[in-house]
Amino acid sequence: MKFGKLTGYQTTGRQVSLDFEGQRAVITAVTPEIIRVFCGWEEAGSRSHAIEGDKEKPVALEVKQRGKGLFLSTGKVQVTVEDGFAVDFFDETGRPVCQEYRGERRPLQRVSGQQQRLLEEEGHEGARQETMAFEVVKRLTGREHFYGLGDKTGFLDKRHYAYTMWNTDDPSPQVDCFQALYKSIPFFITLTDTHVYGIFLDNSYKSFFNMGQESEEYYYFGAAGGNLDYYYLAGDSLPQVLARYMYLTGTCPLPQKWTLGYHQSRWGYTVQEDMEEVARTMREKDIPCDALHFDIDYMQDFKVFTWNEERYHGDSAAYLESLARRGFKAVAISDPGVKKEKGYPVYEEGVEKGFFAKTPQGEVYINAVWPGDAAFPDFGSPKVRDWWGEKQKFLLDKGVRGVWNDMNEPASFHGPLPDDVVFTDEDRPAPHQRMHNLYGHLMAQAAYSGLKRLDGRRPFVITRACYAGSQKYATCWTGDNHSIWAHLQMAIPQLVNLGLSGMPFAGTDVGGFGSDTTEELLLRWVQVGCFSPLFRNHSAMGTRRQEPWQFGDRAVEIYRKYVKLRYHWIPYLYDLFWEEERTGAPILRPLVYHYEKDETAKTCNDEFLFGDRILVAPVVEQGKDKRLVYLPEGEWYDYWSREKQTGPCAVIKDAPIEVCPIYVKAGSVLPTMEEMAYVGEKEPETLTLEVFPGEGEWEHYLDNGEDFAYREGRYHQYRFTVDKTGAVQVEILHGGYEKPYRHIYADCMGEKTEIL
């Protein structure tokens, strides 16, 4: 890709068309803070799958010639464009923020030139260089930290690492050097000493992000195909930059409240008796639980939208009804691969209507997944999405309350899908290469829209594969981790980076999916899991069972303590979701999100914030019974002892196996829930606030927790204000919910007073 000299330009409103010797390009000021940089080779009009609707806001764009190039200003962001499509971004005062790298590229030397030639001659795989349709190379000043990029392995700060965006199902234990996992979210946030900005590459082809792994002088991103199409997002803080990304790609809608409860799952609950034993023991052992997950074995020969009734005494709907009476909601898996089988209606219908991906010769493309030979629904077509959405009725009629989309990278057992398999992109054919990273996203969209139409409640869809913007339709989990300590450690940076990538509703398989867990690992994992927005214990067939009672009474007691703590704070968590829906603020946050000047926070991998009030410093190392806790600026109460600490400081906290170190910021009012075996067991008539003295306030949200009536104003919004003495004032900001609390109590260090 050669741009050459800038030879001319035209301005129309918010848009500047640029003529280079070799290419035409466009810069658009979408809003005063969001700049789109575009050069399109692929058919015009191929629309974004991440961004829905018109995002333009009024902008007065100033454009003038300056030196060798052009100068643009929105009043908030200044941009210069020079020969070679070098684009530099400055803040409103003209200080550089993100600049093109103009020096020499020095690709990493992996082999000597001589070796390289030999390898190429022998046709060795490793000798092949990935070819990119374009690359954007930006300068490093040496002080950058990078966050986001989806579900990648490794650590909080992505600096010095390289990643590939290509949705991948690789069951081997994921480690730092993995370049790709299940999700492709080509968005990152850069934090320097003086600035913060975001870059979103809206390109669904295989893309590459080299965050200063190759060089200390530059970082770069590029893609194997498609358009050069990125957004520069300015902001004064990390939350602001993320909010702009969420403005573009949408926030995660408020979920049904029960989805925030505890979920129990295992690939291996095969028949009704297995499920029943789990359900019964959950209640017997007094471990709150809201959801049971039905993995692939509930299906007839792994055929999507079928149920193996034999395994459920001939009446699965009756069984799901019996679970529902006891407060358990059923979540059922559904895989995209449709079994190739004569007489199977989903397959025959799909073939007849042309709803499956095809070979370039126009035949239905077949690969193998769980049901054996299978066809792949072409989710890029709106007709196919509608069809798949309608099919959700089968599950709803059984009494299913949530749909779990797996294998939607898409995964395939007979080698990867070839690049040229033909899918549809809305209204035109498109190769697998372009649709691969969108596949899970579009499948989730199909399930979400179908459920919304058919059920009316807030759809609950869990997806494994994602693209930017999937948060609008689905929650996600991080896929097949293992029961190893490294994966408990990785869970923290992975979940907070997912939050910084716009996927706030996420969780890891608590206890670990593959390999055998231990009592200690499970107990330390539940201490992290109870804060994850999605809280599910899940494990693979053939591994050691990992319900807490497999490990004896002590394990049950400690496990229960943390599941109960989760339920205790569900009203607080629900408030965070309410905030998230409006602003995009994540639920789990790295310390740097709120303390971006704090050097320790910038690379802190083993602590996180649950909202802005609660700091969690879990033990994630085997055999540890104390840990060093870092507390950023401000006053913090040890949740267990109520001892006060003034940050920034580091404290050594005793943390035997039953203790997860938790700190609450002074000036907090945490809404809590009465003890319940599941969400909705009792109508919440009273609210108790846990008060931590100091100046502060909290907005609390209440609605029916189930449908969309809140969008018509049927909710209550309260504001609680606390002072240094711990006294709490309450105001009702909005009073639209028909069943508000009858009583509100404030509990300040054990002293309870009625405040409403």
How far is the C-alpha of 669 from the C-alpha of 664, rounded, in Å?
A: 10
Residue 255: which residues within 8 A CB-CB, separation 6 or more?
Answer: 458, 460, 475, 505, 577
| Structural element, H or E, at residue 37 | strand 34-39
User: Does residue 134 contact residue 223 with C-beta atoms inside 8 Å?
Assistant: yes
480 tagged catalytic: yes
Pick between residue 82 and residue 406 the one whose CB is nearest to ligand MIG: 406
The nearest distance, CB 352 to ligand MIG, in angstroms, is 28
User: Does residue 583 contact residue 686 with C-beta atoms inside 8 Å?
Assistant: no
Q: Tokens at residue 396, please?
A: 């709803």
Angle, CA 134 vertex, CA 137 and CA 183 arms, to 5°: 85
Report the interface residues with ligand MIG, using CB under 6 A.
267, 295-296, 333, 406-407, 464, 479-480, 538
How far is the C-alpha of 730 from the C-alpha of 2, rounded, in Å?
A: 63
**In this structure, are strands 614-616 and 24-29 parallel, antiparallel, or unpaired?**
unpaired
How far is the C-alpha of 634 from the C-alpha of 630, rounded, in Å?
A: 12
The nearest distance, CB 464 to ligand MIG, in angstroms, is 6
Pick between residue 38 and residue 513 the one whose CB is nearest to ligand MIG: 513
Residue 552 backbone class (left: φ over 0; alpha: ψ -120 to 50; beta: rest): left
The nearest distance, CB 183 to ligand MIG, in angstroms, is 13
Which residue's entry shows tokens 């997944």? Answer: 369
The nearest distance, CB 479 to ligand MIG, in angstroms, is 5
751 tagged catalytic: no
Return the half-sphere exposure (C-beta side, CA atoms, 13 A cut-off) of residue 576.
25
The nearest distance, CB 538 to ligand MIG, in angstroms, is 6
Indicate if the alpha-carbon torsion angle 87, 88, 89, 92 is positive or negative.
Answer: negative
The nearest distance, CB 407 to ligand MIG, in angstroms, is 6
Mark out the alpha helices in 69-198 (DSSP H runs).
113-121
CA distances (Å), origin 483, targets 289, 588, 645 = 22, 22, 34
Pick between residue 202 and residue 480 the one whose CB is nearest to ligand MIG: 480
Pick between residue 80 and residue 483 the one whose CB is nearest to ligand MIG: 483
Pick between residue 89 and residue 477 the one whose CB is nearest to ligand MIG: 477
- Out of 144, 157, 378, 409, the active site residue is 409
- Out of 169, 406, 425, 607, the active site residue is 406
- Out of 202, 295, 378, 480, the active site residue is 480
How far is the C-alpha of 8 from the C-alpha of 258, rounded, in Å?
A: 58
Name the residue type at position 116: Q
SS3 (DSSP) at 537: strand
Pick between residue 538 and residue 589 the one whose CB is nearest to ligand MIG: 538
The nearest distance, CB 738 to ligand MIG, in angstroms, is 39
* Active site (catalytic) residues: 406, 409, 480
